[in-house]
Amino acid sequence: MCSINNGALKRILLAAVTAGLWGCAATTAPKGYLPEEAATQWEVCGGWLKVEYSNEGIACVADGELLAAQDRKIYILKDSQTVVILSDSIQKATLDLHLNQASTIGIWTFLGSLSTLSHGFVMVLSLPTWLLVGIPSATFESWADHYVQEKPDEAWWNKIKKFCRFPQGIPSGVGLYKLRPKNLSPSPH
């Protein structure tokens, strides 16, 4: 009969959780910016974009709301200031659209794995099942609507235009200096 002691179980759980977290995606969006997934259909602000780019040979990073992608330029709103970056200078782009439930899935996986301590011999089957289903589920969820592209080309920018505040480009007559970022303070309701 096979038995697993508590020390071995802790090492297995720690290794599994570490392996699962290794593949999870992280966002640079400030707390309160990204909406819940269900709210994205009526969200008027663009997704949160982080770009790594070169400006006259100097490596730079910018992040903020994706306003528009037009005429080989990317418009990002950060703290009431619009940053315009030539798309050809961008080395890496990361776009996030909504909050994900990876943490919730991870917690359920952890709790479900702990519950297998009460399963006796059947734990040999139930623990791997929890880990084999839960860890990939949390990892896949963390990457939901999280777009990463090395050296994005025009085709990639055209694909993600629908996630801009202005998907058809900055309308004529809109002053970029007048745009304000999303209010991150909690609503009074």
83 pLDDT tier (thresholds 50, 70, 90): very high
pLDDT of residue 189: 38
pLDDT of residue 67: 95
pTM of the model: 0.68
18 pLDDT tier (thresholds 50, 70, 90): low
188 pLDDT tier (thresholds 50, 70, 90): very low
For the chain, the maximum distance between any two Cα atoms, rounded to a whole number of angstroms, is 77
pLDDT of residue 8: 63
Instruction: Summarize the confidence of residues 165-180 as an average pLDDT.
Output: 88
Of 42 and 44, the one with more pLDDT: 44
Instruction: Summarize the confidence of residues 54-81 as an average pLDDT.
Output: 92
Same-domain check for residues 161 and 91: yes
Q: Is residue 51 part of a domain?
A: yes
Same-domain check for residues 84 and 55: yes
Domain extent, residue 110, equals 1-28+101-143
Which residues, in sequence order, are CB contacts of 3 under 8 Å at separation 6+?
A: 121
49 pLDDT tier (thresholds 50, 70, 90): very high
Question: CA nearest 27: which of 55, 73, 64?
Answer: 64
Is residue 4 over pLDDT 70?
Answer: no
Same-domain check for residues 152 and 121: no
Same-domain check for residues 162 and 80: yes
Evaluate whether 51 touches 92 at the Cβ level (below 8 Å).
Answer: yes
Amino acid at 131: L
pLDDT of residue 136: 75
Same-domain check for residues 136 and 152: no
Evaluate whether 66 touches 47 at the Cβ level (below 8 Å).
Answer: yes
pLDDT of residue 25: 52
Q: Is residue 58 part of a domain?
A: yes
Same-domain check for residues 42 and 92: yes
Q: Is residue 175 part of a domain?
A: no
Same-domain check for residues 41 and 89: yes
Number of domains in the chain: 2
Same-domain check for residues 127 and 53: no
Average pLDDT for the chain: 79
